[in-house]
Amino acid sequence: MNWWGDKAPRWAIVVATLLLAGLALAFVLELGSKARSEQVRAKLETGRADAAVASGRDAADTVGRAASGEAIIDSINRENERAIRSAPGAHAPVDPAVHDAGVASLCRFATYRSTKDCMQFTPPR
């Protein structure tokens, strides 16, 4: 007779079975936890991508609105220039200082900054 008695093999089988069942349960729970983590990570990535797209769309809309506003202002300025240049007496001699002041004031606008007159114009000192 051994020191466990007659029931030692049965007792060892029960302990081993419970140990294996515990390990299997831990494994299944870990797999479930990993699956949930991956789902959360996927949702976060999708949310981040959606936010980036929305942010880009907002930025493009803002730039478009600003450009549209500038285009309207530039259009009005061009219309004003045409009206002034086609008015009676527009080609009459003008004092050079008045001419320089007028050209300098127009060259401050983005619309005129790159025109031939503004590129060649050097304001008096």
DSSP string computed for 68-120: HHHHHHHHHHHHHHHHHHHSTTTTS---HHHHHHHHHHHHTSHHHHTSHHHHH
70, 84, 109 from 112: Cα distances, Å: 13, 15, 6
pLDDT for res 83:
92
* Tokens 């600003």 belong to residue: 66
Cα-Cα end-to-end distance for the chain: 120
Q: What is the C-alpha separation between 58 and 77, in angstroms, rounded?
A: 29
| Rounded CA separation 47/69 (Å) | 33
pLDDT at 102: 87
pLDDT in tens, 39-83: 888 888 888 888 888 888 888 888 888 878 888 888 898 999 999
pLDDT at residue 79, as a whole number? 92
What global pTM score does this model have? 0.34
Whether residue 27 is predicted with pLDDT greater than 70 in this model: the reply is yes
